[in-house]
Structure 1
Amino acid sequence: MKRLIAGLGTLLLLVGMAKGELRIFNWSDYIPEEVLVEFERRYDVRIIYDTFEAPEAMMAKLQAGGAREYDLVVPPDYYVAEMARAGLIQPLDHDRIPNLKNLYPEFQNPDYDPGNRYSVPYQWGTTGIAYRASEVKQPVDSWGVFFDPAQYQGPFLLLDEMRETIGAALKYLGYSLNDTDPAHLEEAKQLLIDAKRRGLGFAGSVEGRSRLLAGDAVVVHNYSGDIFQIQEEDDDIVYVIPKEGGTIWMDAVAMPAGAPHPDLAYAFLNFILEPEIAAAISNYNYYASPVQAAEPYLDPELLNDPAVYPPPEVRAKLEFIRDAGAALPLFDRIWTEVKAR
């Protein structure tokens, strides 16, 4: 399924002769190298590409000076408003990103960033449960596989991401994953502490999928595309969205407030919204594209997979994580206490 742009793999960049530099801060294993090479070739530029495993690490790096070091960063949707309030990212000039017209209408004015004032949609997906079908004793269809000892199926890993993992506990309890009621968050905290004691702890998405693939874990909490990638290597691995519902999310590309190379940053934002480029990214990482014009270039298996593009009845149970606003310190405290126990 990993079809890339025809011919890109043969392109070579003479890095020493590049006339510019673009610095990107993104999640691990989230863009094909051939796409980066094509941008380097087209604009005679060298890309410096750094990665992170959790948004908290990304935020800390920007606050420590990365907002003047990087030209582009890829935060989760619910971080965009927080980063804008903190002055870490800058408003975008849409006149310099004409390919915004290629987006699906629903992504041209998202709740997390009305009018895409600060960000450009990059990839979207869901967060759910992956497991080894040959190792489980009963059907896996609930967050209870982590939180109910009676549903234990084998060694498990929870995702090392604060809002996602607290949100999973809230969903299992019957609450919104955006619930800020202190009593409900205390319930979620206790569920997570108990799960941590029974399981293998927490892992980033790349570590989690690797340990599932290696057989160290039987069940993991992870992002959809990360699991779809390893299904290509092992068809014993299954991904499900729990019956209680879960997270639908959008990762977006934003420009840090002190971006040293804004012209190249704008060029890259427009570049990733080109239909063939957007399709190449999704065909590589198995996430859904927000670029409607990319549909003719997407692998049909990907485009028609209900696990990638969930049907309406499943979408109805999914929630975007919203900016926690004034409740963020409460989430931080809960998460700190979970990790410390």
Structure 2
Amino acid sequence: AYLKTSVDNPPTSWSTFLDKNFLEKYRGKVSLLVEFLDVVQASMIKLGYNPAERKNWNDDVMDEVIRLLKDVKPYLVGFYGAGQYMPELVAGRLYLAQAWSGDILVVKEENPNVEYVLPEDGGLYWMDFIVIPRDAQSIDEAHEFINFLLRPDIMARNAKAVLYSSPLKRDILMQYAEQTNDEELLELLENPLLYPPEDVKLVPNPVLDEDVLRMIERVRTEVQAPEGGVIPMAAILIVVVVAFIVFSYLMFRRRRS
């Protein structure tokens, strides 16, 4: 997402967006997502790796990702969640943000100067799931609830509420919108943020096995660590011991006096 009144030439790719030469102009006015899965994937694309391919999830690639993110970190205002970047974009204090598409549609209602780019080198897409636990007691009711959510009228209400695409095929919702003269739904079904054109490159999330989650957490920990890294435990112990010696000496002097 970007503020068109403040960004003359918005980036069209992760390759540009994560380039420190580009970010220099907007230092302190840029945020990346606090959800590091998406930060890591965007960085991998910038570096020429397809995050949808499991072979690219390895420690060598993560080392490159960490170096890249540490390079661009000084230009960022921070790693923001929706509760932070949305009001900052509305207020015009944030110029560029890695953001969820549905959130930007909400932001645009309050600040029409906010626009959105689908990266040419790969927009990240994902799916939420409804699952029935193996030991569920009310399985029939669970299926009834899922069937209820999949009704076109309910899917239409959900799409208009959350501003994300529906698990129902677009043609089904389009037919429902035309039959009910639902102009709001028709507008959403034509919005490229909900239903990107076929020529847009989309990159799916990887399978989040334990090893992938470990690598994401490793990147997050190392990138978000304070400058200079975490203070070694040995250094902390030395400080504590020195403080204790000084305190004991002062107490001894006090008793002597």
The 8 Å contact of residues 146 and 156 in structure 1, kept in 2 or not, is answered as: no
Larger radius of gyration, structure 1 or 2?
Answer: 2
Q: Distance in 2 between matches of 1:193 and 1:337?
A: 9
Q: Which among 166, 191, 195 is matched to residue 309 of structure 1? A: 195
Q: Distance in 1 between matches of 2:85 and 2:133?
A: 29
Structure with the higher helix share, 1 or 2: 2
Q: Distance in 2 between matches of 1:261 and 1:197?
A: 52
Q: Which residue of 2 aligns with 1:327?
A: 211
Q: Which residue of 2 aligns with 1:147?
A: 18
Q: How many residues align?
A: 210
CA-atom RMSD, angstroms? 2.1
Structure with the higher strand share, 1 or 2: 1
The 8 Å contact of residues 164 and 194 in structure 2, kept in 1 or not, is answered as: yes
Post-superposition Cα deviations, 1:290-335, rounded to whole Å, max 9, x if no partner, equal 2123333451111112232111210xx2111121435322222122
The 8 Å contact of residues 208 and 220 in structure 1, kept in 2 or not, is answered as: yes
SS in 2 for 1:250: coil
Q: Which residue of 2 aligns with 1:226?
A: 103
Q: Distance in 2 between matches of 1:258 and 1:215?
A: 49
Q: Which residue of 2 aligns with 1:131?
A: 2
Structure 2 unaligned segments of length 5 or more: list them: 178-184, 227-257
Q: Which residue of 1 aligns with 2:202?
A: 318
The 8 Å contact of residues 123 and 203 in structure 2, kept in 1 or not, is answered as: yes
> How much has 1:214 moved relative to structure 2?
1.8
Q: Relative contact order (C-alpha < 8 Å, sep 6+): which is higher?
A: 1
The 8 Å contact of residues 20 and 71 in structure 2, kept in 1 or not, is answered as: no
Matches within 5 A, 1:165-244: 165-178=39-52, 179-244=56-121
SS in 2 for 1:301: helix
Label 1:251 to 1:147 Cα distance change in 2 as closer, same or farther (>3 A).
same
Q: Which residue of 1 aligns with 2:154?
A: 277
Segments ≥4 residues shifted beyond 4 Å: 256-264
Q: Distance in 1 between matches of 2:204 and 2:15?
A: 21
SS in 2 for 1:252: coil
The 8 Å contact of residues 274 and 294 in structure 1, kept in 2 or not, is answered as: no
Structure 1 unaligned segments of length 5 or more: list them: 1-129
Q: Distance in 2 between matches of 1:200 and 1:258?
A: 45
TM-score by length of 2: 0.74
Q: Distance in 1 between matches of 2:10 and 2:100?
A: 20
> How much has 1:134 moved relative to structure 2?
0.4
Post-superposition Cα deviations, 1:86-111, rounded to whole Å, max 9, x if no partner, equal xxxxxxxxxxxxxxxxxxxxxxxxxx
TM-score by length of 1: 0.57
The 8 Å contact of residues 171 and 246 in structure 1, kept in 2 or not, is answered as: no
Label 1:241 to 1:175 Cα distance change in 2 as closer, same or farther (>3 A).
same
Q: Which residue of 1 aligns with 2:252?
A: none
The 8 Å contact of residues 82 and 99 in structure 2, kept in 1 or not, is answered as: yes
With 285-294 and 214-223 compared, the bigger mean Cα shift is at 285-294
